[in-house]
Structures are given as structure tokens and as C-alpha cells.
Structure 1
Amino acid sequence: MNPYSKNKQFWKVTLLIFATFITGASLIYTNFLVRNLSKSERTKAEVWAMSTKSIMTMPDVDDEFITFIYTVRDSLVTPAIITDQKDEIIFWRDLDSTKTNIKPTADTPSKLNYDPSYFKNELKKMKKSHPPIVLNLSNGEQWHVFYNDSMLLTQLRIFPYVQLSLIAVFLLIAYSVFSSIKKSEQNLVWVGMAKEAAHQLGTPISSLMGWLELLRMRLGDENDSTLLEMENDIKRLEIVADRFSKIGSKPSLQNYNVYQVIEAFIQYFEVRTSNKIKFILQGDKQIDAKLNVPLFDWIIENLLKNAVNAIGSEGKITVNISENIAKEEIFIDISDTGKGIPKSNFETVFQPGFTTRKRGWGLGLSLTKRMVDYHQGHIFVKESEIGKGTTFRIVLKSNLIYEPTKI
């Protein structure tokens, strides 16, 4: 794992632990408040029940005491129902007014002035919510007082979840904004470094061209094989400088034969690689795609270099070109017989800084993905097996309607 990914993973775990701590602390404290408020509400419900019992069973007390009892009773703001031992409703408070004091109908006898089905449902909810408060009457009967949580207590129960949801949304938005800013800054650094590299390459390339002409004059042989290969390398350096100069600009895509473009690059690359590594190009030779050849060569070069490094001393690299006509997609599969990639790294290999080489920068595949994105395609590890090799797949659109974008 590269240092950048390791550091990023550390901070992700740290923030996750911190967020878990905050969430747990918030829920624990809220539950503490809910328990205390719930106890307080039950006490109020008991006082309300006792006061209601006093009003209904002691009619001969003086007016001042009755007024006091009514005041105590009406201080409760919790929905409640009092029933007898047969669950017949005796009294209620703070229920839906549209379901109480209704006109008698065939389904609601005249002795009832409430909606039975509504009260039945409410009573069922209250029984599940809290154990009843039992009132023992002087005649030996019992009343049962059922109640629901107040609106305040209900809101307090859900408050931490709402609060944490809002915090999570805020953090996601903040993370997206900062990631976007960071990515923009990275792009600016990348563009600046690329253009500076292209500028710095310009002078030595011009000098090398001059020295090459001088050697030709001294040797007097225009077709010397060594000089021709030197010229090819200088041209390659010009292409590399041109690639870097295009970073941050909008180079155009044109229609090219995919097989011919890849074949031309392999011919250049093969002579600069060990003769123990065999290159095989196969597939459809008639497929055309919209390409920027210098940048597309860069894609193929990075993938072939990775394949050569994975193989080591001896092996085979196969490039297969095919087309999915139904989906109008072009597939370019580059396979090697190298050491393979663990499945856990299939996505990680495209991250900047990821490398398995001691002296690698970890930018090759990241850059490759960027170039493929510019061609409005995508690249992924199609398959890989440790000790047997890896296949990368590039997918391009055969009917691409090109819209220039910066790279």
C-alpha cells in the first residue's frame, strides 16, 4: 500500500471511531433524559389518576378543594384513558376531539359519546406503551389508567436521530466540497508540472536533433541503423513533450484504425524490450475509433511497460481487439503472463501513488485512467491470477460523439 493510501486509511478509521463515539455519547445522554422524563410523566399520570378518582368518587367535598383537584388534574398534558376491570372506558383526556363527543349512530349506541374503534386502537397503543396505573376503589373494584408519552417526550426520543442525520448530511456535503477543492488544486499542480516538463524537454530535444545531424555529416551515412534508431528515440521524446504540453488543454480526437495505431506502437516498443518477451497483436483489423494518437499511444505504452515489469525476464504479452456491436463498444484487452494482481487491489492500482515497485512513482496507471477518461472510455482489471498473469480491458465507444474536455 502506498503512503498516501495508508495515511488516508488511517484518517478514515480515526474519523469513524470519533463519529461512533459522538453518536454513542449523544444516544446515551438522550436516553438518560428520556428515562428521567418518562419517570416524571408517570408520576404526573398517577397524580392525574388520583385527582380524577377524587373528583368522581368524592362529590361532597367543598368547592375550594374541588377547584384545587381540577387544577391538579388539568395540569397533565399526556393522553390518557381510564377503564374499569372490563376495559369499559370511564374517562379520557387529550385525545382526538373529532373522535370524541360524536353523535349516536346505529354502530355507536346513545350511551357512548366516542368512536369505539378509535378508542380501541388508542387503548391498544397505550397498553403497549406503559404498564397501567391501578386505582383501588372503596367498593373493591379497580380502575386502570393507561397513558401515552407526551409530545415532548416523543420528540426527544427521535431528536438524536434527526440531529445525527443532519450532521451526517452536513459532513457529506462538506467532504464533497473539500474533495472537489482538493482535486481542483491537484489538477492545477498536475497541469503546471506537466507543462513545465514539456518546456524543459524542448531545449535538449532540439540539441539532440542538431547533434544527430552533425553525426550524419561526419559518418556520411544517412541510413545508418544506429542513427535511425537514435532519430526514432528523439522523435519519441518529441511525442512525450507534446503529450505533456497537451495536459490542461483540449486536444482533438480523430477517426483512426485501432489495430494500425497499436501495431505501430508495438513495433517501436518491441525492439526496446527483451527479446525473451513475445508480443502478440490479434483481433479485428477493421475497427475505427476516435483517438488522439499521442495520448492513446501513452495509454498503450503505460500498460505494456507494466506488463513487461510484471513478467520480468521471459513471457508473453497479448493485445486483443474486439467489438460489441450491440452495445457499440470497442474492447482492447492487454494480457500478460506476469505475477498477477491481488483481487483486493483491482481498484487501488489506479490510485495515484500506488505501486509495488521499490523505485516506482505509482503514477502510470493513474495517468492511464486519466487518458482513457479523456477518450470518454473506461479501463479496469478484467481478470488476474497470482502467478499466472493479468488482463486489463479498455472500453471505448465506437459511435462516440466527441465533446472536447480538458485532461
Structure 2
Amino acid sequence: MNAYQYNNKQIWKVILIVFAAAIGIASLWYTNYLVKSLSQSERTKAEVWAMSTRSIMTMPDVDDDFISFIYAVRDSLTLPAIITDKEDKIIFWRDLDSTKTNIKLEDSLSSRLSYDPIYFERELNKMKHAHQPIILTLENGEKWSVYYHDSKALRNLKIFPIIQLSLIAIFLIIAYTVFNFIKRTEQNLVWVGMAKEAAHQLGTPISSLMGWIELIKMKFDAEDDEVVNEMERDVSRLEIVADRFSKIGSRPILSNHNVYQVIENFIEYFKVRTSEKITFTLTGDNHVEAMLNVPLFEWIIENLLKNAVNAIDTEGQIVVSIKENIAKEEIFIDISDTGKGIPKSNFDTIFHPGFTTRQRGWGLGLSLTRRMIRYHKGHIYVKESEIGKGTTFRIILKSNLNYEPTQV
């Protein structure tokens, strides 16, 4: 998968996320529309209740049937409400906590029904913040203010879409995580099976090549022939590669090694198989040691050096620097090239499986590299890069300080 295909895949993910967001927004919009409609309906009900209450309290001499009708209208409306006079004193209330509205107060002159002033003050403040008051003007010019709460159904409707979308989001996240995990597990099993089969298939021809090289040495007395020796090194390298593939899926065994020597040995092998116009330099602390699996660690270095070579058009320089951070017991391995560089937007993306900037690349090198570094309890990242000037990758490993320095 090249960069274009990878970006297309990312675009489709974004489109799906936007589509899901659009559904959520549409749901919220429609619920908000319903809330506004019901809110207007409840305000109308509150106005009817307020007028019926005013009629009962201010028209005591009207026909009994009419009064009964007014009572029926008033009692059919169930909204928490409070009516206050112009001095903000409570005249009447509706559907509030009954335990707070029938407290019997005793004084020396009389006994009367009253209410809990703290509770009512709190409820009145809530109602004032919830809605604009309904103003009732009496025949004598006095004005009453009617405050009310939303009904319980309307309050539940307001929070319902949030709960609904939250549950849907949680379900989608869990489903995506589970299916992604299953897919990755299946892919890993396929890759492990293919790798082991490739290692098995390579075993026979590699053994044959080793035998042919020994035969050439004996027949042509070529023990010291440089070309034959390099061929032998390449076949030995093939053995190492086959061994790597055979161990994919197994837990790597780590042992203590000198980091500088391991990298130096591989660079000596690698540089004679690349262009002479590319120079290799190894610098830094040559005594630091770490717990390594050498075949895997060489694979890490190989992938990074190959990427560096591919980034250099014709000629350039690759520098590998090793530095120990004693305070943190870490080893910094910086691999720098003078290639074309990496855009900052791709600093993390390049480690994703399938991402590549090359026309025929598979996009697995850096993904495998990061995975193998994690086997070594380390991590890798792009330390710096500039388009047209080059890139530096940094590997961080835990150093092994419990060693005896070797005398030279």
C-alpha cells in the first residue's frame, strides 16, 4: 500500500466518522426541536393554570358549575409552579414536595399551614432561572408573577439524546476495538504462518548453496578468494534471515552484547553492498552494553540503513551515533542520513503498517522495526527531519551497566 492508497483509506475513515457525527447532530437537532415544541406547550399549560388559579382566587361569587369547571382545568395541569405578588411573596404553589408544604407552625395567637421557606426559596430561584415569568394583571392593576419548572418528562427528554448517543458511542468503541483486535490477531496468525513457511522453504536451497561454495573452494583452491568469501557471507546472511522468519511469533531471547560492536559488524557487511557514493560513519561510545537479540537487532539496523540509502538519490552520508545517558541508564542510537527528508505530518504515520512513500513498497519495514525494538524494551521515533536535508531516527534502549570493561 503506497502513501496515496494509505491516505485514501484514512479519508474513508474520516468520511465514516463525519457521517456518524452527522447522524448524532441530526438526532440532537430533532430532539431539540421536540424539546422546544413541548416547552412551548408547557408554557401554554402554565398560562392556563395561572389564569384558572387567578379566577378561583379573585372571583368567589361566580356560578358553582363554572367554578367546578375552573377547578377541573386547574387540577388537570401538573407542572411545578409558584405564584408571587409584586413584592415577590408567595401566594400559591403547585406540585412541589408535599413534605415541605404542609408544615404546621404554632405561635401564641393562631395555628396555620405554612411552608419550608428555605426549600421554597431554592425552588423559586430555580424557576426564575428556568423560564421567563408569566405576568398576570388583576382587575385592580396588581401584577402577579407565575414561575414554573419543566415537567419531569421534558427534563428527561432533554438528557435522553445525550444518554442515547453516549451509549451508542460506547458500544461502537467497544465493537470497533473487539473487531479490530480480532482482525489484527487473524492477520498476525497469517503473517506468522507465512513467515515460518518461507523459512522452511528457504532452508533446503541455503544448505545446497553452502555445499556448493565448499565444493568451489575445494575444487579451485579458493579458500582465500575474496569473491567466494563474500558469497559465503551472503549465504550465511540468508541463513540468518531464514532463522529470523522461523522465530517470528516466538518470544526472543535477549543476552548481553556490546552495542557498538554489533552495529559495526553489520555496517561492515552492509556498506560493501551499497553504492560507493554513500559513506558510512559510526561514532560514539564503544563500550556500552545492552540486552539484545542480535539477529533481530541487526534486522532493526538493516531496515533503518536501507531506508536511509533509499532516501539518498545519488550520493550522501549516513552517520550512526551511539551515546550513553548514564543518569537514566539509557542508550541513544541516532541514525542520520542526508536524504530527501520526511514531512512532519508523517513522523508517526510512517510506523503504521502499510504506509510507504515508495511506489512498490509494502510499508512493513518501519512497523516491524518498531515492534522488534519493543521486544528489546526500547522505542524509536523521528528525532528530526527536514525536507531536502535529511532525517534522524533515534532508538532508545535500556543500558546494561552491570559489566566489567574489557581491556584493549
TM-score by length of structure 2 reads: 0.91
How large is the RMSD of aligned CA atoms in angstroms? 2.3
Task: Tell me how far 1:368 sits from its aligned partner.
Answer: 1.0
**Match for residue 52 of structure 2?**
51
**Match for residue 343 of structure 1?**
344
Q: In structure 2, the residue corresponding to 1:152 is in which secondary structure?
A: helix
Task: Tell me which moved more, 289-298 or 372-381.
Answer: 372-381
Q: In structure 1, the residue corresponding to 2:234 is in which secondary structure?
A: helix
Letter in 2 for 1:172: I
**Match for residue 176 of structure 1?**
177
Equivalent pair of 2:336/2:390 in contact (CA under 8 Å)? yes
**Match for residue 394 of structure 1?**
395
Equivalent pair of 2:330/2:397 in contact (CA under 8 Å)? yes
State the aligned residue count: 398
**Match for residue 149 of structure 2?**
148
**Match for residue 276 of structure 2?**
275
**Match for residue 297 of structure 1?**
298
**Match for residue 326 of structure 1?**
327
**Match for residue 162 of structure 1?**
163
Q: In structure 2, the residue corresponding to 1:395 is in which secondary structure?
A: strand
**Match for residue 194 of structure 1?**
195
**Match for residue 317 of structure 2?**
316
After TM superposition, the structure 1 = structure 2 runs for residues 33-112 of structure 1, keeping only pairs within 5 Å, are: 33-61=34-62, 65-102=66-103
Letter in 2 for 1:374: Y
**Match for residue 123 of structure 1?**
124
Q: In structure 2, the residue corresponding to 1:86 is in which secondary structure?
A: coil
Q: In structure 1, the residue corresponding to 2:114 is in which secondary structure?
A: coil
Matched, 1:139 2:115: no
| Distance in 2 separating the partners of 1:394 and 1:105 | 83
Equivalent pair of 2:133/2:146 in contact (CA under 8 Å)? yes
**Match for residue 404 of structure 1?**
none
**Match for residue 267 of structure 2?**
266
Task: Tell me how far 1:140 sits from its aligned partner.
Answer: 2.6
**Match for residue 404 of structure 2?**
none
Give unmatched runs, 5+ long, in structure 1.
401-407
Shift in CA distance, 301/105, structure 1 to aligned 2, threshold 3 Å: farther
Shift in CA distance, 399/90, structure 1 to aligned 2, threshold 3 Å: farther
**Match for residue 385 of structure 2?**
384
Give unmatched runs, 5+ long, in structure 2.
402-408
TM-score by length of structure 1 reads: 0.91
Letter in 2 for 1:208: L
Letter in 2 for 1:230: M
| Distance in 2 separating the partners of 1:142 and 1:349 | 72
**Match for residue 204 of structure 1?**
205
Task: Tell me which moved more, 22-31 or 97-106.
Answer: 97-106
Equivalent pair of 1:4/1:353 in contact (CA under 8 Å)? no
**Match for residue 405 of structure 2?**
none
Equivalent pair of 1:329/1:395 in contact (CA under 8 Å)? yes
| Distance in 1 separating the partners of 2:303 and 2:64 | 97
Task: Tell me how far 1:8 sits from its aligned partner.
Answer: 2.4
Task: Tell me how far 1:148 sits from its aligned partner.
Answer: 1.3
Equivalent pair of 2:216/2:222 in contact (CA under 8 Å)? no
Task: Tell me which moved more, 86-95 or 96-105.
Answer: 96-105
**Match for residue 405 of structure 1?**
none
Letter in 1 for 2:246: S
Q: In structure 2, the residue corresponding to 1:327 is in which secondary structure?
A: coil
